[in-house]
Amino acid sequence: MRQAEACPFTLRRLETIRSTLGDPALTAATIQTLETLAPDPNNKPRLIEWLQAGVESKDRRYEIRSALRALSHAIRPRSYLEIGTRRGWSLAQVLCESSAARAYSFDRWVEGYGGVENPGPEFVREEMRRAAPEHSGGLRFIPGNSHDTLPVFFQGVPLEVQEFEDLSIVRAGEDAPRSFDLVTVDGDHTALGTWWDVTDVLPFVAIGGAIVIDDLVDTADEALGDRATSRYAAIRPSPEGLESSLLDVWNRLKAGLDNYEFIESFDSIVPIGIAIRMH
Ligand SMILES: C[S@@+](CC[C@H](N)C(=O)[O-])C[C@H]1O[C@@H](n2cnc3c(N)ncnc32)[C@H](O)[C@@H]1O
């Protein structure tokens, strides 16, 4: 990033984010919020144990939920877009810290994701009522494959008969903020699908805003036989030589985006990257 092009506001923002990530008090708050959410014996105890060890050792470790908690504390986002919500663990962290945030959740509610029920919007809405009762900024769910819904939401494709079949997505996009202060990309875990999600949201990240990308590991879901699909596949970019690796996606973003600063943690329970738009 060419620092000279960043303004004092974004430089200050970057410093605040750096000093807030891993704050033990915010990690403790993350745990408290996770504990108010419905049980998930397959996944939650291990995560809470990992976070708790960080609070006790003060080693400033973070993963996606505690990073989102810290980012929301630092940025106080007025708008939040999340791709991949599942049972609302990440969403709850943002809504707890930013009661006025206008939140948009994109999920196709893959059955049994993570080995437990993935019930969908009504379940998550109920969870948010309990975990983030102060939140009043509005929460909108856009169900479906994000590679079909995001292009319609952002009107990145011509709106024709098919798009008008579900007018609710067009309307939600028309009413949405023009840019988002905070974005999470944690839906489709194929490398190509992650690339599509990131490139769909990039034009709508606010200056001083952040994108969080989870699971920066070397094996993406293509290795499990999964394939990204989109009714717009023919007009979507497919970067040459993209490996089946979210780490490759991340490294390409780092190499290609000169208006972002990049923070990454490979010591996380799951590796995570945060890109902050500087100008
Ligand atoms: C890893 S989970 C999200 C976890 C959540 N961010 C959290 O912190 O607990 C991934 C979610 O993405 C959804 N998903 C997977 N592929 C998707 C796609 N192509 N479009 C929309 N959602 C998708 C799944 O249904 C699942 O709920």
User: Per residue in 110-137, pLDDT tens?
Assistant: 999 989 999 999 999 999 999 999 999 9
Ranges in the chain, pLDDT < 70: 1-4
Which of 75, 72, 71, 50 minimizes the C-alpha distance to 61?
50
Report CA(190)–ligand 1 centroid distance (Å): 11
User: Per residue in 215-246, pLDDT tens?
Assistant: 999 888 999 999 999 999 999 988 999 999 99
Regarding the beta carbon of 187 and ligand 1, being less than 6 Å apart is answered yes
Domains and CATH numbers, the chain: 3-277 (3.40.50.150)
Question: 27, 93 in Cβ contact below 8 A?
Answer: no
Sequence-distant (6+) residues with CB within 8 A of 26 are 20, 66, 69, 70, 73
Report CA(254)–ligand 1 centroid distance (Å): 23
> How many residues are listed for the chain in this entry?
279
Q: What are phi and psi of 213, to 5 degrees?
A: -125, 125
Report CA(67)–ligand 1 centroid distance (Å): 17
What is the spatial distance between Cα 7 and Cα 48, in angstroms, rounded to a whole number? 38
> Which helix (H) or strand (E) segment is 199 a member of?
helix 191-201
What is the spatial distance between Cα 128 and Cα 102, in angstroms, rounded to a whole number? 13
Q: Is the pTM of this model over 0.95?
A: yes
Question: Whose Cα sits closest to atom 26 in ligand 1?
Answer: 86
